[in-house]
Structure 1
């Protein structure tokens, strides 16, 4: 594990919610118009949990927020049979290349197991699976997600 990284529930560090909302908005919503910044913030506020979904986990290096990821229900409306999802994996641009996403995903897998989740799903714009393939997620199919081609993957826990 990356020794200078610490993981926290966003519920325990809500002062970072505004920054994360801006990251998500700029990365996934600003160009598409999918959600407003206020709507992104409101969705994140629902993830201020420790013992139930949705939940957000943040990665700090010292006092610097360097990443975030979420466990949530039903990320894709077209596939409601897939219940538990890993999503919102984001690493700050200044911290990329330090395996933070990998450590965040591994930490969230531990959280999912703690919550007795049996299978995790995700969608990625990396149609080859990227990091997620390396961490044992298996490709299921490609799909359209709000105008973007994605690969839906799963991992049995």
Structure 2
């Protein structure tokens, strides 16, 4: 498996937009594939936020994760967020998500970021808890119950 930045493979935008629309399109406006493709062009960065790390297996895109600003407007003081962690179905259970999350944390460190937040619909914290993320609180955001978590890095 190879980890790269989206800026190194911008042709991956269309696939990531399809994944995100299929997985989270129910959340609300701005989540159609076309709208997401437009938004994801903002992630073509390598040394500033927002950015996306992608996972490839023999040139096949198998996953993605974002490092971005202010994901949840109810937390204006929580600046940096991990989001959009997605692994395509046939590659799940193989450590891809963990590698993507670790790569995002490593990138955040190089950018001088010392704390990252996330939201998950898994109230147990799942993989994030295993990787050392701490629960902050459970909230309902845009009609969806989520667990907000934080990791100091």
Match of 1:51 in 2: 47
SS at match of 2:102: helix
2:89 is the alignment partner of 1:93: yes
**RMSD, aligned α-carbons:** 0.9
2:124 is the alignment partner of 1:141: no
For residues 58 and 42 of structure 1, what CA distance do their matches in structure 2 show? 18
TM-score by length of 1: 0.94
CA shift digits 1:61-105 (9 cap, x unpaired) = 111111000000000011111000000000001111111001110
Of 12, 35, 51, the residue aligned with 1:39 is 35
Match of 2:58 in 1: 62
TM-score by length of 2: 0.96
Match of 1:127 in 2: 123
For residues 142 and 134 of structure 2, what CA distance do their matches in structure 1 show? 22
For residues 29 and 139 of structure 2, what CA distance do their matches in structure 1 show? 17
SS at match of 2:107: helix
CA shift digits 1:95-135 (9 cap, x unpaired) = 11111001110111100101010100000110110000011
For residues 49 and 58 of structure 1, what CA distance do their matches in structure 2 show? 13
> CA offset at residue 33 of structure 1?
4.0
Unmatched segments (≥5 aa) in structure 2: none
For residues 74 and 140 of structure 1, what CA distance do their matches in structure 2 show? 16
For residues 97 and 37 of structure 1, what CA distance do their matches in structure 2 show? 26
For residues 103 and 27 of structure 2, what CA distance do their matches in structure 1 show? 30
Q: 1:32 to 1:152 in 2, by over 3 A?
A: closer
